[in-house]
Amino acid sequence: MSISEQLFERAKRVIPGGVNSPVRAFQAVGGNPRFIAHAEKEMITDVDGNTYIDYIGSWGPMILGHNHPAIKAAAMEAAEKGLSFGASCPAEVEMAELICEMVPSVELIRMVNSGTEAVMSALRVARGYTGKSKVIKFEGCYHGHSDGMLVKAGSGVMTSGVPDSAGVPEGCARDTLTAVYNDMDSVRKLFLECPGEIAAVIVEPVAANMGVVAPRKGFLEELRQVCTEQGALLIFDEVITGFRLGFDGAQGYYGIEPDMTTFGKIIGAGMPVGAYGGRRDIMEMVAPVGNVYQAGTLSGNPVAMAAGLAQLRILKNHPEIYRDMNEMGEYFRRELLGIVSRSGAPCQVNGVGSLSCLFFTNEPVTDYRSAKTADVNAFGEYFRYLLSHGIYAAPSQFEAVFMSSVHTKEDVDKTLSVIEEYWKK
């Protein structure tokens, strides 16, 4: 038995399913989850000493690679001064200033500890601001695991085949309306059915939790327009896209200004961080200025802020990182498409910038329904082949391939040659 296998057996005795987040259990793909010992740049090493090229990057934040020296030094320097104060610290102010400077739609921002919290809080503010109770989300988009967002959610919810979670009160689910990604008619229909009741539309501007699905041309623009007409707030959930597609996230990439934005793990460089922000008049609803309550003992934690700031400062000072990382993503997809065409594999190559996805289906994937046509067993076999050849991809068909800025052309070419061999075998 490998050390990973032994650890998994022990974990299953004391942790539900042996994991602290469902997708880590490899349930959808088979095989034993790897327990990670350490990671450096684009490489990750398990407890048995196997090293892999890592395309998860902690699900997005490791834009500069694992264990970046400047980020590590910043976190360690902060840790020397105390792990948590439960009081304000200078780094929180610097973080807020930096985000407000780089993302023009964000005038005020509040730190929290995860993407889930960021979304949950943003929705409360949207409801408080508009005085309305319903929200529209899109099928297959994942916005964390708060009650109201576990309706037709993507990511692990989609992977495990649980359509909606048990334990979500009917009342919570009732206020979540779901529309079809990339389909404005489905959005307009909901506004017609519930006039004056919709507080907000929340969207992943690039859907990255049902695999990767790009917004069709005009989709985000039309969403912006309809929200403005209807007096609903447009919330971009940029937990994956913020500071990844570019410094100003998907909103900069596509040139759309949302009313509110949620951020997550990327702004903590891997530390537990999230944030929500937006227009000043909306964010002034938040206590202690306004009467929407939201709080957090560890919010703005000095070590997390120091690590996140170190990453964001490097990104700010080196905009070429985005150019190169996005180009590497495009190169990967171009070559992958060539392999798929040559092998005749029934697959689709999707992606935007450094986010990619290989769907095991004949159908173009533009929404949840088409994503669900993917053959998850075929994906599982492909995943296990890659893993056994030193490539660590997300253990689910419905997640992204995350390129970092330190993946080299050699890494990507090696990955492509393993994929090509897979179809030749």
Give the active site residues.
142, 237, 265
E strands in 192-270: 198-203, 233-237, 260-263
Taking contact as CB under 6 A, which single stretch among the options 140-148, 175-183, 225-233, 414-422 is the one that binds ligand PMP? 140-148
Ordered DSSP codes for 324-381: HHHHHHHHHHHHHHHHHHHHT---EEEEETTEEEEE-SSS---SHHHHTTS-HHHHHH
- Contact residue for ligand PMP among 29, 44, 71, 119 (CB under 6 A): 119
Whose Cβ is closer to ligand PMP: residue 142's or residue 332's? 142
Alpha-carbon span 107 to 357, nearest angstrom: 33
User: Does 63 contact ligand PMP by CB under 6 A?
Assistant: no
What are φ and ψ of residue 34, in 5° steps? -85, 135
- Collapsing DSSP to helix, strand or coil, 229 comes out as helix
* Among candidate residues 235, 285, 271, 40, the one with its CA nearest the CA of residue 135: 235
- Collapsing DSSP to helix, strand or coil, 153 comes out as coil
Judged by CB under 6 A, the chain residues 248 through 277 that form the site for ligand PMP are 264-265, 274
Give the strands of the sheet with 51-54, arranged side by side.
36-40, 43-46, 51-54, 391-392
Whose Cβ is closer to ligand PMP: residue 11's or residue 119's? 119
User: Does 55 contact ligand PMP by CB under 6 A?
Assistant: no
Judged by CB under 6 A, the chain residues 87 through 116 that form the site for ligand PMP are 114-116
- Contact residue for ligand PMP among 91, 240, 328, 365 (CB under 6 A): 240
Whose Cβ is closer to ligand PMP: residue 142's or residue 359's? 142
User: Does 209 contact ligand PMP by CB under 6 A?
Assistant: yes
* Among candidate residues 415, 417, 375, the one with its CA nearest the CA of residue 53: 415
User: Does 393 contact ligand PMP by CB under 6 A?
Assistant: no
Cα 44–Cα 49–Cα 55 angle in degrees, nearest 5: 20
Closest separation between CB of residue 264 and ligand PMP, Å? 5
User: Does 143 contact ligand PMP by CB under 6 A?
Assistant: yes
Whose Cβ is closer to ligand PMP: residue 109's or residue 339's? 109
At what angle are helices 409-424 and 320-343 packed, to 10 degrees? Answer: 20
By CB under 6 A, the count of residues binding ligand PMP is 16
- Contact residue for ligand PMP among 22, 33, 65, 144 (CB under 6 A): 144
Which parts of this chain interact with ligand PMP (CB under 6 A)?
Answer: 59, 114-116, 119, 142-144, 204, 209, 237, 239-240, 264-265, 274
